[in-house]
Amino acid sequence: MKIDGNEVRPGHVIDHNNRLWRVMRTKHVQPGKGGAYMQVELRDIRDNTKLNDRLRADQSVERVRLEQRAYQFLYTDGEMYTFMDLETFDQVTVGPAVFAEGQTDFLQEGMQVTLEFYEDEPLNVQLPETVTLEITFAEPVVKGQTATASYKPATLDNGVRTMVPPHIETGQRVVIATEDGSYVERARD
């Protein structure tokens, strides 16, 4: 589907220069002289290279529609990850290139994810927005630290370090955002 250059948004996948790119960031720029344009940061779907480019409003680009299917994560074998289709029970094995940076740290056995396909080739894995993990180590609270909105370092059971509020202690379960590994809230279970 053709769209104008100023309609490109983060998350879109476009066909640009005969390659598939995911739009990471956009910024509308209106210089004092000349026409307005959209400054875009693109990431190549297949080899993860980045490109910064300008798309003018009168320039059209091809927006690619990806087919999304629900899968369940089964296991990892070295650097390969195996998923099972929840409808047909077919298994798909993908490499680390289909994951965003740091995403594999939050992958858990049995987790339901969305795989995005283009012409039956898996291009991207979307994890749930949050995961619940246990704190294996949390720094002790410094006296007076609870009076301010400060955070302290903690290590999760998957080995990832994050910042948590001072009232969180070792052994507690917390909800973590998979996009950036940040603390969301204490788990309610």
Provide the pLDDT confidence category of residue 113 given band limits of 50, 70 and 90. very high
Provide the pLDDT confidence category of residue 2 given band limits of 50, 70 and 90. confident
Strand partners, 88: none
Provide the pLDDT confidence category of residue 119 given band limits of 50, 70 and 90. confident
Strand partners, 23: 42
Q: What's the confidence (pLDDT) of residue 31?
A: 85
* Strands (DSSP E) found in 13-57: 13-16, 19-29, 37-44, 50-56
Q: What's the confidence (pLDDT) of residue 147?
A: 56
Average pLDDT over residues 16-39: 85
What phi, psi does 146 have (nearest 5°)?
-75, -15
Q: Which domains does the chain have, with CATH numbers?
A: 2-64 (2.30.30.30), 67-126 (2.40.50.140), 130-186 (2.40.50.140)
Average pLDDT over residues 84-109: 88
Contact call for residues 149 and 166 (beta carbons, < 8 A): no
Provide the pLDDT confidence category of residue 85 given band limits of 50, 70 and 90. very high
Mean pLDDT over the full length of the chain: 87
Contact call for residues 23 and 15 (beta carbons, < 8 A): no
Average pLDDT over residues 12-40: 85
Report if pTM > 0.75. no
Q: What is the tens place of the pLDDT at every residue in 126-149?
A: 899 999 999 999 988 766 655 556
Return the number of other C-beta atoms located less than 10 Å from residue 8's C-beta.
21
